[in-house]
Amino acid sequence: MPNKPVGNQSPFEQIKRINEQEFEYWSARDLMKILGYLNYRNFLPVIKKAIVACENSDISASDHFAQVRIMIETGKGAKRPVNDYHLSRYACYLVVQSADPEKEMVALGQTYFAVQTRKQELFEQASENEKRVILRQEMRMHNKHLSATAQEAGVETSLDFAIFQNHGYKGLYGGLDAQGIKKRKGLSKSQNILDHMGSTELAANLFRATQTDEKIKRERIQGKNQANKAHYEVGQKVRKTIQELGGTMPEELPTVDSIKNLERKQQRTLKEKKDD
């Protein structure tokens, strides 16, 4: 079942998943429920129609529709294997375009995936500074979500949350806490680490935050010690993935100018365009 929505977060965003290679995907069975289909048998023709549309556009369907076998609960703790599809954002867009337009959530899904697909296209075309601004904004939003989730798990005070955050940093940064990272990167105690990250480092931290949020909710973790442990483990997993992909460790990435300077410049540009 999808997680309980946070604030105004879209139900389609709530069911999004991230794999070990840091690629986003949606389960067809999760999407089916959101769109209002009662069983997978009736939803399967919609997927097949979307696959045909993909192939007719000379795009490899296998890159966007991955057929998998998953285990589902059937009652009293029993489980059985069933078919599912892991869908890319583009695949979801084609699926909702192929779904029953009389269903209310289908119309919402068409709007959501059209907008989000366009956002992804724009992000891929963006400059490094533009990507930094986008990712920093995402990081602020997801840190709020993570804070709310951690609080529900028992991370209650400001000190508790600082310790919780440090466990995530230690996992991702090879044992360095926030102050250790600042020292390594030549930042003062008052400077915000996230404001001085490039897009690659921000993306790694965004992945850490979103996956910790998901893990705490999915496993129904309770108690600040268990929450800290979960954050550390996710940080470690992200670090291991970077190593396996041959990437640069986050503590080795360069320190860059404060994002606040870029955001102020962006605001001035927008104001100038508005005045014109």
End-to-end Cα distance, the chain: 49
Distance CA 93, CA 121 (A): 14
What was the pLDDT predicted at 148? 94
Percent of the chain residues topping a pLDDT of 70: 92
- What is the C-alpha separation between 87 and 100, in angstroms, rounded? 18
**SS3 state at 25:** strand
DSSP characters over 49-82:
HHHHHHHHTT--GGGTEEEEEEEEEEETTEEEEE
The predicted-structure confidence for 170-222, as pLDDT tens digits, reads as follows 999 999 999 999 999 999 999 999 999 999 999 999 989 988 998 999 899 99
pTM: 0.61
Distance CA 239, CA 116 (A): 28
